[in-house]
Amino acid sequence: MNNKFKTKSQMVLYFLKGSVIFFVISMMYSVLVTFFELVSPKFVQYTVDYCIVDAADSSVPGYIDYVINMLGGRDYLRDNLYLMAVVVGVCAVATALFRYLFKLFNSIAAEKFIRRMRDTLFEHIIRLPFAWHSENHTGDIIQRCTSDVDTIKNFISEQMINLFRISVRIAVAMYFMLGISKFLTFFSAIFIPIIVLYSCFFHRRISTGFEKADSEEGRLSATAQENLTGVRVVRAFGREAYEKERFETQNYHYTNLWIDLIRTLSAFWASNDLISGLQVMLVTIIGAVLCVNNSITVGEYIAFVSLNAMLTWPVRALGRIISEMSKAGVSIDRLRYIMNSEEEKDIADAVEPPMNRDIVFENVSYKYGNGTEDVLRDVSFRIKAGTTFGVLGGTGSGKSTLMYLMDKLYDLPEGAGRIMVGDTDIRDIKRSYLRQNIGLVLQEPFLFSGTLSENIAITQSDVNLKEVRDAAKIADLDEAIRNFNKGYETYVGERGVTLSGGQKQRTAIAQMLMGKPPVMIFDDSLSAVDTRTDARIRKALSETTLGSTVILISHRITTLMHADTILVLDKGRVAEIGSHDELVANNGIYKRIYDIQKQGI
């Protein structure tokens, strides 16, 4: 794992590119909203003190005095109090207008922000190594790219913006309140650090709870995703009750984590509300006492209570922002894990050599991840260009690993041997070029939602129906497709669930043939078809892949027996190599398997 984003803020700032200007504009409008909201009580104060009570000792800010003179002066306003109501109404309209503009630009910024997050994550994930995807559950990855992305978006566009608005609101309100009574302002402000301190106390507990809940939600999503995609297997083996119990157990554990977290949040929110309520009560009582003692005027008391009431929600929200910060921090760390995972990279000056050359494995050894035993042990052999090469071996013998290494789905470590194409080490070959020139058909092919023609021509920019049909004929699929009601426009469900196992394998073969690669690998990709279909496909392939190097991996001797050379793997080592006749004559592993399968024909 690299350290592209060493801190949370680095990653957030990276995602914010393109949306910062909209957030800045929205914050400018939020300042105007705050000003017009907080200036209204000052106009009310003036109306009460100057136009109704005539409190000469009440102070008036310069901007209010300017408005008063513009409207005709105090005496005129005293006789036309409705004008002050109009001024307050104008402030309300201005507040509504600027709040609309604030929300508009904030929403635009938020959507641009989340779009960049999604695009960047998707682009990064599809470039991560095959080994990384093998180690991470799909359901958990999806949960990080949906739920965690939304959490971060909501925090930045709502909580962080609110933090700015609250800071401005508190600063402006405190300025107005200090102008009325420093003594009363002290009792109002003393609760702010108290709320911040106990919020920080809850922060760690809430953060830990969110981290556990998010992790368990990923496991729950993975369980649901596995069952939905493997629903046919679940039904076929009557595993509904078992899978239901497994899901409910995971869901029960996940629910209990949230219940524990909600207990903590409830205690936090209740404490928050209690302290905020005490602050309002204390300011109201002390303010009333000061007003009775003529320390402040009636208008100033009304204005102060109004300003303090306007601070109640922001001060309470300040604590809740710290709570949301805990949740967002967990989500940011979960995305940092993805973004800091190393992408596949070519070496500097990677080459694109001719691929119609001999393929040579020289003393190749390999083990997966943290495995203690090598899957391949000192494997050496040569595949001559333009020939058909067969690979036979038991489960876990390393057959598929050979092909994954050849296609650089797994990187062969330094000192673990070499794989050569002609005179070029595949470590020096550009990955995209190598994979474009090596066609790989897996035992369990993946088909995308779409029509059959779209799936077969998935590697092509345009769907050429003639080429699609030619490829389908070689894969012995054309007749079956023409028997479908919609033919090549038949819709294939998710993962190809509307097709049989053999039809999916043949679709994948046709898909690979469309690219006409110089190297074709069939990794047990005829296991789901009968022997006659197998023979027809192999015959068609031999007639149409002249000049291509064909590698057949199979458990079925009849699939391999016509290959020019056959490699037999046993526990990761080369046990035998030669033609069918040579291997039968050797009376080794190949001969024993051949005799067993021959008896079963």
Contact 524, 553 (CB under 8 A): yes
Does 351 fall in a domain? no
- The tokens describing 382, both together, are 């040569």
Q: Are residues 83 and 205 in the same domain?
A: yes
Contact 193, 313 (CB under 8 A): no
Q: Give the end of a domain, one of 286, 305, 339.
A: 339
Q: Are residues 322 and 368 in the same domain?
A: no
Q: Are residues 173 and 277 in the same domain?
A: yes
Indicate if the pLDDT at residue 26 is higher than 80: yes
Indicate if the pLDDT at residue 223 is higher than 90: no
pLDDT in tens, 110-146: 999 999 999 999 999 988 988 888 888 887 888 888 8
Does 344 fall in a domain? no
Q: Are residues 503 and 469 in the same domain?
A: yes
Report the pLDDT averaged over residues 559-583.
Answer: 89
Average pLDDT, the chain: 82
Contact 492, 452 (CB under 8 A): yes
Does 83 fall in a domain? yes
Contact 16, 332 (CB under 8 A): no
The sign of the CA dihedral 135, 140, 145, 148 is negative
pLDDT in tens, 366-379: 988 766 678 899 99
Does 488 fall in a domain? yes
pLDDT in tens, 68-106: 677 676 677 677 777 777 878 888 899 899 999 999 999
Least confident range from 105-114, 181-190, 215-224: namely 215-224
Using CA atoms, how far apart are residues 478 and 469, in angstroms rounded to an integer? 6
Q: Give the end of a domain, one of 304, 339, 374.
A: 339
Q: Which helix (H) or strand (E) holds 172?
A: helix 161-180
Pairing of strands 565-570, 491-492: unpaired
Q: Are residues 293 and 391 in the same domain?
A: no
Per-residue buried b or exposed e for 331-358, using 16+ beta carbons within 10 Å of the residue's own CB: bbebbbebbebeebebeeeeeebebebe
Q: Are residues 381 and 296 in the same domain?
A: no
pLDDT in tens, 480-537: 888 888 888 888 865 555 677 778 888 888 888 888 889 988 887 766 666 777 777 7
CATH of the domain at 250: 1.20.1560.10
Q: What is the pLDDT, as a whole number, of residue 2?
A: 57
Does 236 fall in a domain? yes
Q: Are residues 278 and 147 in the same domain?
A: yes
Q: Which helix (H) or strand (E) holds 157?
A: none
CB atoms under 10 Å from CB of 203, counted, come to 17
Q: Are residues 259 and 384 in the same domain?
A: no
Q: Give the end of a domain, one of 311, 339, 367.
A: 339
Does 224 fall in a domain? yes
Report the pLDDT averaged over residues 272-291.
Answer: 81
pLDDT in tens, 240-267: 788 888 888 888 888 888 888 888 878 8
Q: Are residues 111 and 187 in the same domain?
A: yes
Report the pLDDT averaged over residues 411-425.
Answer: 90
Does 353 fall in a domain? no
Q: Are residues 217 and 315 in the same domain?
A: yes
Q: Choose from 314-328, 511-525, 565-579 the range with maximum mean pLDDT.
A: 565-579
Q: What is the pLDDT, as a whole number, of residue 389?
A: 92
CA-based nearest residue to 560, from 577, 544, 543, 572:
577
Looking at the 3D structure of the chain, how many domains does it have?
2
CATH of the domain at 517: 3.40.50.300
Using CA atoms, how far apart are residues 339 and 8, in angstroms rounded to an integer? 11
Least confident range from 53-57, 251-255, 262-266, 472-476: namely 53-57
Contact 10, 332 (CB under 8 A): no
Does 139 fall in a domain? yes
Q: What is the pLDDT, as a whole number, of residue 82?
A: 76
Q: What is the pLDDT, as a whole number, of residue 160?
A: 83
Indicate if the pLDDT at residue 55 is higher than 60: no
Report the pLDDT averaged over residues 563-585.
Answer: 90
Q: Rounded to the nearest 5 degrees, what angle is found at the Cα of 53, between the Cα atoms of 48 and 55?
A: 95
Q: Are residues 203 and 245 in the same domain?
A: yes
Using CA atoms, how far apart are residues 189 and 261, in angstroms rounded to an integer? 30
- Please report which confidence band the pLDDT of residue 25 belongs to, taking 50, 70 and 90 as the band edges: very high
- Domain containing 384: what range? 359-600
Q: Are residues 374 and 289 in the same domain?
A: no
Q: What is the pLDDT, as a whole number, of residue 601?
A: 52
The sign of the CA dihedral 30, 31, 37, 38 is positive
Contact 568, 583 (CB under 8 A): yes
Between the CA of residue 360 and those of 418, 547, 564, what are the distances in Å? 8, 18, 16
Indicate if the pLDDT at residue 62 is higher than 70: no
